[in-house]
Copies of this chain bind each other. A is one copy, B any other.
Amino acid sequence: MEGLKRLPKLNLHEVTKKGSPTEAGPSDPALQFPAELETAERLAQQIRFIVEVDRLKEIFRQTVLINSRRAENDAEHSWHLCLIVITLAEHANWPQLDVLRVLKMLIIHDLVEIDAGDTFAYDTHAMANQHEREAVAADWIFGLLPADQTREFRALWDEFEAHQTPEAKFAAAVDRFQPMLLNCHTEGAAWRRHGVNRDRVIARNSHVAEGSAALWKYAARMIAEAVAAGHLDA
């Protein structure tokens, strides 16, 4: 749906009266104000981005859903993280957290995987150049947006990747907690398929504590119970 792309360039000399979009209708752009055309072109560009990222729903992960046991995709994962944030924000290590910024980071954090693909958290080979691959993908996907939003979304992604601010640390904690939670509720499906043991789970995920000590404490008990139940190798 690229209709707005095909609009003729506005000839300023033809704008002889105050064009009303209601009177002129969308099929008569020459009668519209330049500012309104700019808004329409900006919106069309933003919507092309919104259409492109539909593909996040087709990027599948290693974790499986609790009921059907099919592979989870990145869009579902991102939604689940947002739900976790608005439910568990009180357990962050900081009483004053900018929850809106946490949500923005998590809504966009996996968009780079549309181009770079999902990297399994325990695939050390693929992880070696993961950030470089994803940075190239970030240039492309956020570059679809108007320039000011390219900068805004890229800054959010860079902040998430750097794990330095309280918001990024809590976002990262939730991003690591959720796959553990799904693993623990699917008899360790992804862990067992890839032969991951307790030490690797703890090494990979203990930084959850940097975002939420309470969440890591819960996770540590959950991991211990998974080992006790035979769902995770000791």
Chain A residues proximal to chain B, CB less than 8 Å: 1, 3-4, 21, 26, 39-40, 43-44, 46-47, 49-51, 53-58, 65-68, 72-73, 75-76, 78-80, 82-84, 86-88, 91, 99-100, 103-104, 107-108, 145, 149, 181-182, 184-185, 214-215, 217-218, 220-222, 224-225
Contacts and interface: CB of A to CB of B under 8 A. Distances in A.
B76 A65 contact: no
What is the interface of chain A mostly: helix, strand, loop, or mixed? helix
Nearest to A110: B79
Contacts of A58: 65, 67-68
Contact of A82 (B46, B79, B145): B79
Given A79-B79, A103-B103, A214-B43, A3 B91 contact: no
B65 A54 contact: yes
A224 B4 CA distance: 13
Contacts of A57: 65, 72, 76, 80
Given A79-B78, A82-B103, A66 B51 contact: yes
Nearest to A186: B54
Given A80-B54, A87-B149, A222 B1 contact: yes
Given A54-B66, A65-B54, A185-B51, A221 B26 contact: yes
Nearest to A100: B100
A214 to B, nearest CB: 6
Contacts of A84: 50
Which of A4, A49, A50, A55 has the most chain B CB within a 10 Å cutoff?
A: A50
A82 B43 CA distance: 16
Contacts of A225: 1, 3
Nearest to A84: B50
A68 B83 CA distance: 26
28 contacts: A1-B184, A3-B221, A3-B225, A4-B221, A21-B217, A39-B91, A39-B214, A40-B217, A46-B88, A47-B181, A50-B87, A50-B88, A50-B181, A51-B185, A54-B185, A55-B66, A56-B79, A57-B72, A57-B76, A57-B80, A58-B68, A75-B79, A76-B76, A76-B79, A82-B103, A87-B149, A99-B100, A100-B100
A215 to B, nearest CB: 8
